[in-house]
Every structure is written in structure tokens, then in C-alpha cells.
């Protein structure tokens, strides 16, 4: 499967380049699919995630913003207690991503998490597994291609990689 990367210009800054990915011949990028979803019962949490993305734009993709999910990551981390308490029927929204460095982040897709283990959740399972697979692949790819994550600005912009 071919994965095509594109910068999300509105979220990029001097501190961070934020990408998304499109799979094969899909019409939409993964972050677009997430962003187009209605999270009617999770408006506060969606706003919180959007706020975190603005913070990342200002400060960079620092580890403290992310929930570690093995080789990949997820947003949000450190959700305020009042938002956590409002998630009575589920565990809130997860936006899966890959934090490659403080200055490089790839936003993927996500949904409402309904089970403690993301592999057991029908909503996020495929997003979680894809983020894991792509993160493992990119770790090897970056090493083999000798990509300098600090100095190679736009290292993934308009890049196609066979996964």
C-alpha cells in the first residue's frame, strides 16, 4: 500500500511541521477523515484536542502533549477531570498520531474509544493498528534513509512511501 504525506499548512509553524497521510487511492487524508467526524457528545473534548494542537503549533510536538500508545501516540493527554467525568458511556476521543521528533508530527485518524484496550474497540481498532504499523515502518525508514529529523525541514512533504 502506498502512503502519501502532505503538510497541514494551517498547523505548521517555525517549531513544528505537521503532516497527515493518505492511503492508496483514498480521496481524503486520514486527518481530514477524523476532522469531518461529528463528536456531538464530545464537543468539549474536541475543543480540548484542538487547543492542544494550537499549543503544539506554538511550542512544538513535545512529549507531554501525547498519550504513548507503543510506537505511535494519541491525543489527548492530561484531559481535565471535568471532561473525563463527562465521558460516562465511553473513554473519550482518541486522535492517533506519530510524534517523530519535537519538530515533526503526523496526524492520522481516530474516533470515540469504547474499550480500555484499543484493539478491542470497534471504533478505534483500525486507526490504532494502522498508527502502530506506520510508526514501526517509519522508524526503520528514517534510519535506513538517514533522514535528519532536526535539519531536514519538510522531510515528508509530498513524499510517497510503499508500506
> pLDDT of 125-145, one tens digit each?
999 999 999 999 999 999 999
User: Which residues is 110 bridged to in the sheet?
Assistant: 95
What does each C-alpha distance from 56 to 11, 81, 95, 105, 113 come to in angstroms?
8, 21, 14, 9, 23
Rounded Cα distance, 80 and 16, in Å = 25
- 51-87 pLDDT tens trace: 999 999 999 999 999 999 999 999 988 777 677 677 7
For the sheet containing 93-101, what is the strand order? 67-69, 72-75, 93-101, 104-112, 17-23, 2-7, 160-162
Mean pLDDT of the 91-114 span:
94
Residue 15 CA to its chain's centroid (Å)? 17
∠ Cα 116 117 119 (to 5°): 145
The pLDDT score that the predictor gives to residue 129 is 96
Rounded Cα distance, 125 and 113, in Å = 9
The pLDDT score that the predictor gives to residue 77 is 82
User: Of 38, 12, 119, 162, which Cα lies nearest the Cα of 96?
Assistant: 119
The pLDDT score that the predictor gives to residue 2 is 94
Question: pLDDT grade, residue 13 (50/70/90)?
Answer: very high
Does 153 score more than 80 pLDDT?
A: no
The SS3 assignment for 84 reads helix
Q: Which long-range contacts (CB under 8 A, 24 or more apart) does 21-27 make?
A: 21/106, 21/108, 21/134, 23/130
| Mean pLDDT estimate for the chain | 91
The pLDDT score that the predictor gives to residue 82 is 74
Predicted TM-score (pTM) of the model is 0.93
- 29-61 pLDDT tens trace: 999 999 999 888 888 889 999 999 999 999 999
C-alpha grid cell, residue 39: 463528536
Amino acid at each position: 500500500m502506498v502512503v502519501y504525506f502532505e503538510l497541514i499548512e494551517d498547523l505548521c509553524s517555525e517549531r513544528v511541521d505537521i503532516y497527515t497521510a493518505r492511503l492508496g487511492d483514498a480521496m481524503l487524508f486520514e486527518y481530514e477523515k477524523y476532522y469531518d467526524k461529528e463528536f456531538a457528545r464530545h464537543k468539549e473534548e474536541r475543543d480540548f484536542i484542538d487547543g492542544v494542537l494550537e499549543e503544539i503549533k506554538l511550542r512544538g510536538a513535545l512529549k507531554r502533549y501525547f498519550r504513548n500508545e507503543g510506537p505511535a501516540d494519541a491525543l489527548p493527554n492530561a484531559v481535565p477531570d471535568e471532561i473525563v467525568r463527562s465521558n460516562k458511556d465511553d473513554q473519550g476521543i482518541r486522535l492517533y498520531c506519530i510524534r517523530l521528533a519535537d519538530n515533526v508530527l503526523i496526524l492520522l485518524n481516530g474516533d470515540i474509544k469504547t474499550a480500555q484496550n484499543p484493539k478491542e474497540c470497534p471504533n478505534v481498532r483500525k486507526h490504532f493498528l494502522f498508527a502502530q504499523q506506520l510508526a514501526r515502518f517509519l522508524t526503520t525508514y528514517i534510519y535506513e534513509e538517514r533522514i535528519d529529523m532536526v535539519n531536514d525541514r519538510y522531510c515528508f512533504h509530498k513524499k510517497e512511501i510503499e508500506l
